[in-house]
Amino acid sequence: MKIVDRLSWPIVIVLCLTLGLAPFTPEPHVWQKLQMLFSGTLKAPVDIFDFLLHGVPWLLLLVKTIRR
């Protein structure tokens, strides 16, 4: 948890706005993968990896917010 605490807020926010939302069109990958997760179609390894890749910045933001 010390690593999360040492990350600055601007870096976490920039990660969320860039990697967390990329690609921006037609819809962000993280949103698309969340829809797949809730509909039960998130099964392919590449989709799971993609969900983790684009979801980590948002998870960091959540953990940093809770720890504050």
What is the domain range of residue 17? 2-67
Cα 26 to Cα 15, 20, 22, 30, 40, distances in angstroms: 20, 15, 10, 12, 21
- CA 54 to centroid of chain Cα atoms: 4
| Number of structural domains in the chain | 1
Contact 20, 58 (CB under 8 A): yes
Residue 42's pLDDT is what? 92
Residue 2: its pLDDT value, please?
Answer: 84
pLDDT digits (tens, 9 = 90+) for 18-67: 998 888 888 888 899 999 999 999 999 999 999 999 999 999 999 999 98
pLDDT of residue 54: 92
